[in-house]
């Protein structure tokens, strides 16, 4: 009865979302054409409708699973309908894959109210995820990622830490695409179970493989690499791609028909060939746009030998032991946070950001502060322009942006705000830099009025995925 009540509540919210979509769509009139503002409104309404439908689907999946539990035997709902399991019943009825149906069942069971052996009602295993689903804040795919991570860490982390992890994740996923939720969950798992990073790492390392074979006149390479093995490969190839695009931009005939028209996958394939040829001949320098593998770890973790470290451009954390091994090799820079550092603010004494400043910006921004591209595909830009605004070459006036986002900021009227470390907001001044300095601040992007009349700041940079912040 409790699950049915929940389903009815979700169904009411679903009807409201459908009415809202119908209202927004009807604004198009007889022409059937939508303005840009209407397209955004329709897209947002579709998103709400989809999340509301997910809430109904999850609740129904939990009911079907409950009525198909094994102890019912021949009375199982799924078996009565001719199916082996509730997931099979759901997959056939809705046309989704068995994997998607199984995830719906798992999310439903984790977010449905429970009862003990005496029939006393108990809250859901993950009540905050359940509330976020019912409120239309969270969709079923994101909820599945969160629940799977919490389940994996439940024994090692303990009840209190799991509850805190659930709260942090639910609060952080709003406005994130599913791929970004996946990044957040990966970091959350390392935070919830730091002692589990190294065993998982060893297991993944044991699965690394590279196969080569010929077919249809082409040589096929298939690589599956753990983070420690992949870090220099990923960094070098991305650096090569960045160097190629920089050369295109600087070339006077870049727009000519016979210019470099290779796609990114083509350039990455060429990079591998160039690197291997370089190793065989070792007579010329390979262009990788100054790429280096940067491994970041806390000073306390380094000294204690516990916890985890992160590799710039790779989502999966690594153990401190792996970080130490990587730092012992060439081309790897260990960035220990919490110790003494070089001077990071240069004022007007120099125009270009130094290497130390860039490392600090990568620590704060994680890559492109707006879209999340890896650090080697970004440049450090002055928020207040060096020439026009007399902006200083300081961290408080610097931000990492890829070329696309750099043009988006300038061409579309976005503004950037940098918070001071330890503050929730900064001070907006003029058209550029906001108060705050150092790598501990946070980056906020302020949309122009035509995108958001309220100009609500949107969090950017590494802070979006910092679960322990």
Question: What b/e readout covers 207-228, taking b as 16+ CB neighbours within 10 angstroms?
Answer: eeeeeeeeeeeeeeeeeebbbb
The number of folded domains in the chain is: 3
Asked if 136 contacts 13 with a C-beta cutoff of 8 angstroms, the reply is yes
Neighbours of 61 (CB within 10 A): 26
Q: Is residue 346 in some structural domain?
A: no
**β-strand partners of 310:** 296
Q: Which residues contact 274 (CB under 8 A, 6 or more apart)?
A: 240, 286
Tokens 């957040």 label which residue? 184
- Strand segments, DSSP code E, in 209-302 are 209-215, 218-224, 293-298
Q: How confident is the model at residue 434, as a pLDDT?
A: 36
pLDDT tens sequence across 289-317: 556 677 777 777 777 777 788 887 777 88
Q: Is residue 272 in some structural domain?
A: no
Residue 409 domain boundaries: 355-465
Q: Is residue 349 in some structural domain?
A: no
| Same domain, residue pair 79 and 208 | no
DSSP structure class, residue 424: S
**β-strand partners of 398:** 382
The domain boundary, picked from 154, 175, 192, lies at 192
- Strand segments, DSSP code E, in 271-378 are 293-298, 308-311, 318-319, 332-337
Task: Give the residue ranges of DSSP H helices in 67-196.
Answer: 77-80, 86-94, 98-111, 127-134, 140-157, 159-172, 178-192
| Same domain, residue pair 239 and 299 | yes
Per DSSP, the three-state class of 121 is: strand
Q: Is residue 348 in some structural domain?
A: no
**β-strand partners of 295:** 311, 334
| Same domain, residue pair 98 and 67 | yes
| Same domain, residue pair 326 and 200 | yes
Q: Which residues contact 16 (CB under 8 A, 6 or more apart)?
A: 52
Ranges under pLDDT 50 in the chain: 1-3, 339-342, 424-438, 469
Q: Is residue 266 in some structural domain?
A: no
Phi, psi of 365 (to 5 degrees): -95, -25
The domain boundary, picked from 160, 175, 192, lies at 192
Per DSSP, the three-state class of 288 is: coil
| Same domain, residue pair 80 and 150 | yes
Q: How confident is the model at residue 2, as a pLDDT?
A: 39
Please report, for residues 18, 38, 381, the alpha-carbon distance to residue 49 in angstroms, rounded to integers and kept in the order given.
6, 16, 39
| Same domain, residue pair 392 and 333 | no
| Same domain, residue pair 107 and 32 | yes
Q: Which residues contact 265 (CB under 8 A, 6 or more apart)?
A: none
| Same domain, residue pair 108 and 224 | no
Distance CA 2, CA 469 (A): 36
Per DSSP, the three-state class of 218 is: strand
* C-alpha triplet 447, 370, 162: angle, nearest 5°: 105
Q: Is residue 262 in some structural domain?
A: no
| Same domain, residue pair 366 and 434 | yes
| Same domain, residue pair 184 and 224 | no
Q: Is residue 143 in some structural domain?
A: yes
Which run of H or E residues covers position 412?
helix 403-412
Distance CA 185, CA 41 (A): 29
Q: Is residue 148 in some structural domain?
A: yes
Strand order in 332-337's β-sheet?
Answer: 318-319, 308-311, 293-298, 332-337
| Same domain, residue pair 375 and 314 | no
pLDDT tens sequence across 416-427: 998 866 554 443
Which run of H or E residues covers position 49?
helix 36-66
Comparing CA positions, the residue from 212, 210, 206 lying closest to residue 226 is 206
Comparing CA positions, the residue from 380, 337, 355, 361 lying closest to residue 436 is 361
Q: How confident is the model at residue 295, as a pLDDT?
A: 79
Q: How confident is the model at residue 469, as a pLDDT?
A: 43
DSSP structure class, residue 428: B
Q: How confident is the model at residue 440, as a pLDDT?
A: 63
Helix crossing, 36-66 with 127-134: angle to 10°?
130
| Same domain, residue pair 51 and 159 | yes
């Amino acid at each position: 009865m409790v699950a049915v009540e929940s389903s009815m509540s979700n169904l009411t919210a679903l009807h409201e979302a459908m009415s809202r979509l119908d209202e927004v769509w009807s604004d198009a009139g007889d022409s059937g054409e939508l303005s840009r503002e209407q397209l955004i409104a329709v897209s947002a309404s579709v998103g709400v409708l989809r999340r509301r439908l997910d809430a109904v689907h999850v609740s129904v999946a939990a009911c079907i699973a409950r009525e198909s539990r094994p102890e019912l035997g021949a009375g199982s709902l799924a078996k009565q309908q001719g199916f082996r399991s509730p997931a099979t019943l759901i997959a056939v009825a809705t046309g989704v894959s068995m994997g998607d149906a199984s995830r719906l069942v798992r999310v439903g069971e984790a977010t449905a109210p429970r009862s003990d052996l005496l029939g006393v009602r108990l809250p859901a295993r993950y009540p905050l995820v359940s509330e976020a689903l019912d409120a239309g804040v969270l969709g079923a795919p994101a909820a599945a990622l969160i629940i799977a991570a919490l389940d994996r860490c439940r024994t090692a982390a303990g009840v209190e830490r799991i509850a805190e992890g659930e709260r942090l994740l639910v609060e952080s996923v709003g406005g994130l695409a599913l791929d970004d939720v996946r990044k957040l969950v990966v970091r959350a798992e390392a935070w919830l179970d730091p002692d589990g990073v190294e065993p998982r790492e060893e297991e993944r390392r044991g699965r690394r493989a590279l196969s080569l074979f010929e077919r249809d006149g082409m040589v096929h390479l298939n690589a599956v690499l753990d983070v420690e093995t992949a870090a220099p490969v990923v960094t070098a190839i991305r650096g090569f791609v960045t160097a190629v695009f920089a050369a295109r931009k600087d070339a006077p005939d870049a727009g000519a028909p016979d210019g470099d028209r290779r796609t990114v996958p083509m350039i990455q394939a060429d990079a591998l060939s160039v690197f291997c040829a370089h190793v065989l001949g070792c007579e010329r320098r390979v262009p990788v746009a100054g790429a280096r593998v940067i491994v970041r770890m806390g000073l306390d973790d380094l000294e204690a030998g516990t916890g985890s470290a992160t590799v710039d451009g790779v989502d999966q954390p690594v153990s401190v032991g792996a970080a130490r091994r990587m730092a012992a090799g060439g081309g790897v820079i260990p960035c220990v946070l919490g110790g003494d550092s070089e001077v990071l603010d240069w004022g007007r004494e120099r125009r270009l950001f130094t290497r130390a400043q860039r490392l600090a910006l990568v620590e704060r921004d994680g890559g492109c502060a707006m879209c999340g591209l890896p650090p080697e595909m970004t440049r450090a830009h002055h928020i207040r322009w060096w020439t026009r605004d007399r902006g200083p070459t300081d961290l408080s006036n610097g931000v990492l942006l890829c070329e696309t986002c750099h043009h988006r900021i300038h061409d579309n009227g976005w503004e950037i705000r940098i918070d001071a470390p330890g503050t929730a907001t900064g001070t907006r001044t003029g058209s550029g830099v906001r108060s705050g300095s150092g790598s501990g601040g946070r980056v906020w992007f302020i949309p122009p009025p035509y995108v958001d009349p309220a100009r609500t700041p949107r969090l950017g940079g590494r802070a979006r995925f910092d679960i322990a912040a």
